[in-house]
Amino acid sequence: MAVDSLETEIDTAVRVVHLASSLCVKVQEKLHLPNGGHVKSKDDDSPVTVADFGVQAIVSWVLAEVFGDQNLSIVAEEDTETLSEADSLGLLGAVSNAVNEALSEASKYGLPKPVKPLGSSEILKAISRCNSVGGPKGRHWVLDPVDGTLGFVRGDQYAVALALIENGKVLLGVLGCPNYPVKKECLSNGCNQAMKTKAVAGSVSKGCVMYAKRGSGQAWMQPLIVGGIPESATLLKVSSVDDPVLATVCEPVERANSNHLFTAGLANSMGVRKQPMRVYSMVKYAAIARGDAEVFMKFAQSSYKEKIWDHAAGVVIVEEAGGVVTDAGGRNLDFSKGVYLEGLDRGIIACSGQVLHEKIIGAVYASWESSSL
């Protein structure tokens, strides 16, 4: 499908991510108040919050209103199992309140607004509508409602990530990064104290939404503002640094599903001098798209499988901003195989440019021979 026919899709996606990000800001503020937050553990012990369910409900409801729910395919992280448990009534009530508070503002974002507040059953229906598994054919929206929930719970970085895939190709991506700081240093130094002590509830003093359409050669950034959409956007461009010695490397914070030891050895073998920037979530892709970092490498532990919602939006934004994203063998990521990035060669490498990317791929092959990964 021609990219220029995606105007309604990109417009709706950007608007709904702005709205979803505003919900996240309010929920994250409440998490740091006494008795302010509902945080539950999923089967894999990862945390899930009001924001995870609230964002999924809002995005699902809005997409169904705009595009109809007949052939709507949404691949997303959460299901209603946790919410439907007997001890989750308080969580479901908090989700309902957050969703309806956000949707009451929908018209300010140029989005449809419910005639009356959504009931619990309508919210559960919206969340459970996101039960597609994607695949090689057709059009699929891909959502990670809160990417980096651990960062979110800790008052740190996280992202709302929405992408559109058609016939296995990512057509557009939107990343909402409500805590993405204006100053690059804050990413690695954890300048989140100001956020925790903000005086005005619901205010957004930092944060942005990034977005791109496949084939446009452009990626854009808008600031998050209270109660609406900004009128302007800034063009994003990756860094021009192509020497590994000068490069800033992003790494996942979580050790559970990535091999930090191999990444550190690889960076050392390339002569990287700067300390790695350890960041939660797809904010790593945002940092590369905006030129704040040059490299993101993730080498998963052998038992871990990468999911499409953790990468789709970030990949297209980095690529349209001038960057390169492949697996460690230099092949494009394959989003056509369902929920998982199947056939991934060792890991994922996102880079600010082709020259740097080729140097890293070469270093991976050299390091791999002497590695016991």
Would you name the residues annotated as active-site residues?
52, 149
Largest CA distance in the chain: 63
> In Å, what is the CA distance from 45 to each residue of 2, 40, 41, 357?
42, 9, 5, 35
Q: Is 43 annotated as a binding residue?
A: no
What's phi and psi for 228, nearest 5 deg? Answer: 165, -170
Q: In terms of Cα–Cα distance, which of 268, 294, 281 is closest to 349?
A: 294
Radius of gyration of the chain (CA): 20
How far apart (Å, rounded) are the C-alpha atoms in residues 278 and 271?
18
Residues 325 and 349 sit within 8 Å (Cβ to Cβ) = yes
User: Which tokens in the block code for residue 218?
Assistant: 């452009």
Q: Is 144 annotated as a binding residue?
A: yes
Q: Is 105 annotated as a binding residue?
A: no
Q: Is 242 annotated as a binding residue?
A: no
Residues 296 and 249 sit within 8 Å (Cβ to Cβ) = yes
CB atoms < 10 A from the CB of 90, how many? 9
Binding residues for Mg(2+): 77, 144, 147, 310
Binding residues: 77, 144, 147, 310
